[in-house]
Amino acid sequence: MKTDTHHKLAPLTIALHWIIGVSILAMLAVGVYMHELPKSPLKDTLYFLHKSSGLLLFFLILARIAWRGKNGLLKPAAPHKDWEVRLAKYTHISLLTLSLLMPISGMIMSLSFGSTLPLFGLLEIGPVGKYPPLAWTALYTHQIGAFAFLALIVLHAGAALKHHFADKDYTLKRMLGAEIPRR
Ligand code: HEM
Ligand code: HEM
């Protein structure tokens, strides 16, 4: 299977980045929206879909982290300043950590509030009982994690756009599948 090189990223890296990235943005938007809704069948449906997709996403995220473990963290596509390289590295690590923390806190929250973990009606895990202190800790982790995630994604996407439009380098193009020309 193709792995990442400096000049070209593996198709799996690109697929996992965009599938998980778009899904996480959707999870954040649906999460905030469903939380604000009054009790209704729509709210129940959105909770069911949020939990089911979150569970599925959890396995994709594990695959992505294993893939990063095999490939190592991305090396810069162009010569960047030292602080930019360090900031990008810690942002990527934080994004991967939050990608894990969100589904894990979501699962712990749902189970310990006495609810279940559905997977689109294919299977359902729980209920396993109620543990309120654990449930509330997981809920606050999920909520604070969501804000931290949003802030990091704005920083991350902003940096990608800055590299593309201001520096005119290959950072974004490489993540879209382009090969950096060898000169
Ligand atoms: C990448 C994965 C996930 C993201 C980005 C995410 C994001 C969010 C966000 C932004 C909220 C709204 C928080 C608020 O406004 O209070 C939320 C709520 C919620 N999430 Fe997630 N979530 C994820 C995964 C999961 C998973 C896997 C589960 C459970 C299996 C889950 C269960 C819940 C529940 C039950 C709520 C409602 C909390 C409440 O209404 O008080 N989430 N999520
Ligand atoms: C929405 C717009 C987004 C844009 C324009 C974007 C752009 C990029 C670019 C250009 C890179 C390569 C950086 C480099 O070469 O140093 C990258 C890497 C990365 N991005 Fe994004 N990204 C976006 C959303 C997200 C989201 C929502 C996540 C959340 C998990 C995310 C997580 C990552 C991670 C962890 C990496 C490191 C490489 C990897 O593990 O795949 N990105 N992104």
Q: Domains plus CATH for the chain?
A: 11-175 (1.20.950.20)
Mean predicted confidence (pLDDT) in 60-74: 97
CA angle 83–84–88, rounded 5-degree value: 120
Going by alpha carbons, the residue nearest to atom 33 of ligand 1 is 106
Q: Which ligand is nearest to the CA of 118?
A: 1
Residue 41 has pLDDT above 80, yes or no: yes
Going by alpha carbons, the residue nearest to atom 40 of ligand 1 is 35
**Closest ligand 1 atom, residue 149 Cα:** 5
If you measure from the C-alpha of residue 31 to the centroid of ligand 1, how many angstroms do you get, rounded to a whole number?
Answer: 5
If you measure from the C-alpha of residue 90 to the centroid of ligand 2, how many angstroms do you get, rounded to a whole number?
Answer: 12
If you measure from the C-alpha of residue 133 to the centroid of ligand 1, how many angstroms do you get, rounded to a whole number?
Answer: 17
Mean predicted confidence (pLDDT) in 164-180: 97
**Closest ligand 1 atom, residue 61 Cα:** 1
- Percent of the chain surpassing pLDDT 90: 98
pLDDT confidence of 103, banded at 50, 70, 90? very high
Going by alpha carbons, the residue nearest to atom 19 of ligand 2 is 92
Longest dimension (CA), the chain: 63
Going by alpha carbons, the residue nearest to atom 16 of ligand 1 is 143
Give the type of residue at 54.
G
Mean predicted confidence (pLDDT) in 34-60: 98
Q: Which ligand is nearest to the CA of 153?
A: 2
pLDDT of residue 142: 98
pLDDT of residue 61: 98
pLDDT of residue 62: 98
| pLDDT tens, position by position, 129-148 | 999 999 999 999 999 999 99
Give the type of residue at 33.
Y
Close Cβ partners of 131 (under 8 Å, ≥ 6 residues apart): 112
Residue 183 has pLDDT above 90, yes or no: no
What does the mean pLDDT of the chain come to? 97
pLDDT of residue 1: 87
Give the residue carrying structure tokens 């800790």. 137
If you measure from the C-alpha of residue 150 to the centroid of ligand 2, how many angstroms do you get, rounded to a whole number?
Answer: 13
Going by alpha carbons, the residue nearest to atom 2 of ligand 2 is 157
- Percent of the chain surpassing pLDDT 70: 100
Exposure string for 134-155, b = 16+ CB within 10 A, e = fewer: ebeebbebbeebbeebbebbee
